[in-house]
Structure 1
Amino acid sequence: MSNSFLALVLLESPATPDMVALAKAVRARHPELPMEVEGGDEGARQDSPLIRCGNELVAVMSMPAPIPEDSGLWARASTTWPQAETVAARHRGHLIVSVLGQNQRQLPTARLTTAVIGALIATMPQCCGVVWNGKVARPADLWLDMSSRSFAPFPDYPVSLWVDILPFRSDVGIGAVTMGLSAFADREIQFETRKLPLATLLDKVDGLAAYLVEHGPVVKDGDTFGRDERERFAVRYKNSDQFGGLPVFFCSDGSMQ
């Protein structure tokens, strides 16, 4: 797993955040989080690239150019965000947001990064979207709303900002695959079924993904999971046949075995 996350906040026009205003916004949105601009509030540079949140330093760097093109990212995002490709095409700058340091714990780092991004969006009207760790793109207004729950207890924190769930058709029926979960659990989820309706399938994948974000890669090859003893789904470690050898937790409902 990676040691940190790299988030890109898309800007309609290049801009440098006021870090003192950012610190105030973080305090207002998350009063439980110790917060200061690096160097202290008094006389702090508004364009300082660092803020300290508790024991962590968060870097916010302004880049006066669009992010690198990634047509696959925006095609995935368009399945739930119809304006995604339009926003990607028109943005002219971006911010790079990342927690500094080595050997960080994934979930606390994701929570903190998400809280800072939400505060950036609250203080910068130029923000139009967020790309999380190169895998998941979401609109700025959704981030503004969901990031308010960055430090909520499990399972109420915003996993869907970090992990995408994409449905697909397979030879045996329907399936869904995650994108972004591997940063928390080493693998993605690929779930295929002949008998579950799509809404139920997506709900099962969402529940397992949230569990793995919370606990890490605790599901082992050959384990089962489900609502109760009458509903059990098998899990196998494999490299995906459909998605270019992607390492996955391959799940089925028993109808495919």
Structure 2
Amino acid sequence: MGETSISAKRSVGQLMGNSFLAFVLLGRPVTPDMSAVAKILRARHPDLTTGPDGSGEQQVQAGSPLIRCGNELVAVMSMPAPIPEDRSLWARAATTWPESKAVAARHRGHLIVSMLGKNARPLVAARVTTAVIGALIAAMPECCGVVWAGRVARPSGLWLEMSRHSFAPFPDYPFTLWLDILPFQSDGKIGAITVGLSTFVGREIEFETAKLTLPALIDKVAGLSVYLIEHGNVVKDGDTIGASATERIAVRYRNSEILGGLPVFSCNDDFADSLQ
């Protein structure tokens, strides 16, 4: 059992950096019983093949750092310490999760969760990792929050509920667990910018408008975000997008002044006015 565990952990160390990394915050350090997690995962997603990796002995399964979800393996490693402090992360989280800073301050351990392998589509990795995190939360009352890809923080209760839809068809999977959409104002216009979309397609969306209401703008950014998550980076510099000629949106590749120079799809809806 010792050699198997060492080998598995070595594989985890080699491969975890190749996919999404998520942190599950724990009120106290604890190692999950992966056999129990596998049972919950199977119950929540009965169409998938699930189980710990290994020869099948119960005691090896319970302590395994790997769990199978469908055709993929996911690594889960328990860390007896808080995650590194990130004030900007928790400032963003507090806008929709008021208790987030208190949860961050009092957690004492965390789990690192990541799908293994280099070549999976980002959406596949996100779906699988999300499903496993949901099962971990269901199995472990110590879970108090989730930090996705180092950028987006959500309460464990919300993740538990929304992760049931990890494998729902487009556009109904829980993409709002994976990115924030933050409003801003600029030169008499309103805008919204994503945080987390670049994990999927290499860029965030930065959308400014003088026409749309804020709810309509958020819906527009959410719709474009989930489209890009589904199809990949299919929007090129200089493209226009929209449902009709009067709704065309111009897209340029730029570096964001709001997000410290990060690459963005810079969008505006002034393009249609130039056609009239």
TM-score (norm 1): 0.96
Could you report, residue by residue, the CA deviation over 1:101-151 in whole angstroms, capped at 9, with x for unpaired residues?
A: 212210011000000000000010010100000010000000000000000
CA RMSD in angstroms, aligned pairs only: 1.5
| Aligned-partner Cα distance in 1 for 2:111–2:149 | 13
Could you report, residue by residue, the CA deviation over 1:34-70 in whole angstroms, capped at 9, with x for unpaired residues?
A: 1121114443421211112233211100111110000
1:27 counterpart residue number = 42
| Aligned-partner Cα distance in 2 for 1:43–1:240 | 51
Q: Tell me the SS of whatever aligns to 1:251.
A: strand
Match of 2:30 among 8, 11, 15: 15
1:36 aligns with 2:51: yes
2:4 counterpart residue number = none
1:210 counterpart residue number = 226
Quote the sequence identity (%). 68
Unaligned stretches of 5+ residues in structure 2: 1-16
Q: Which runs of 4+ in 1 moved over 4 A?
A: none
Alignment map for 1:1-257 (pairs within 5 Å): 3-45=18-60, 46-254=62-270
Equivalent AA in structure 2 for residue 201 of structure 1: L
Q: Tell me the SS of whatever aligns to 1:227.
A: coil
2:9 counterpart residue number = none
Shift of 1:196: 1.3
Unaligned stretches of 5+ residues in structure 1: none
Which shows bigger deviation, 68-77 or 160-169? 160-169
| Aligned-partner Cα distance in 1 for 2:48–2:120 | 18
1:243–1:53 Cα change, 3 Å:
closer
| Aligned-partner Cα distance in 1 for 2:130–2:245 | 36
Could you report, residue by residue, the CA deviation over 1:151-177 in whole angstroms, capped at 9, with x for unpaired residues?
A: 000000000001111111112411111
Equivalent AA in structure 2 for residue 250 of structure 1: S
| Aligned-partner Cα distance in 2 for 1:15–1:171 | 50
**Are the aligned partners of 2:18 and 2:116 in contact in 1 as well (CA < 8 Å)?**
no
Q: Which has the larger radius of gyration?
A: 2
1:108–1:162 Cα change, 3 Å:
same
